[in-house]
Structure 1
Amino acid sequence: MAYVVTENCIKCKYTDCVDVCPVDCFREGPNFLVIDPDECIDCTLCVAECPVEAIYAEDDVPDEQTHFISLNAELSKEWRPIIEKKDALPDADDWASVKDKLDQLQR
């Protein structure tokens, strides 16, 4: 079972999770991160590090966000690995509590 990045990450892209990942399974898009399910070792370290609580175990993804499971798998094949912490997006704090922002995802 892999971990999944969900909607709360969109337009925030805090990278605290990247810093603790022992296997470099995160991939970076323009305004979102995903986890490569083939690389994730289910260590759970990233979950506690995410300031917007965007990361869930695959079995625990909220029902209304289960489409993020396949989205992480798809985009992890297209996007490049991110292996070092970076600054969050400039307006990340403004977007952190916004709901229903899938339409804001940039591929």
Structure 2
Amino acid sequence: MKLFSHSSIILPVPAVLEAAEYYRDILGFNISFLWQDPPTYGVVNREDAVGIHFTETSSPLSTDDAKLYIFVNNPDAVYEEFQNTNANIVEPINDTEYKMREFTIEDLNGYKIVIGKGINS
């Protein structure tokens, strides 16, 4: 039996509902949980494989070093989907020297999300 089940990142954001709606409307996630009214904590999921949590903060966001890497089965299909929803693609899809096919988007709060797959996988 595996000891670990899964993990999720928790991103501090100034407006939980706004962040959740962005991930739903632009990135195709489902809003699976909102806590309090207005929400101060929320969760979005995509295909039950990727979960992202948001927590409300009044502190200034520092997104310079924060990145989330999401592994997908078909990065080209996801890239095309995100082009069609006008996601903020900040690095186009490419094959890297470290053997990944990936691209980077930036969400409405400035968080970078890298989406990719190993070239030989």
TM-score (normalised: structure 2): 0.27
Find the structure with the greater CA-based Rg. Answer: 2
Q: Which structure shows the higher strand fraction?
A: 2
Higher relative contact order (CA 8 A, sep 6+): 1
Q: Which structure shows the higher helix fraction?
A: 1
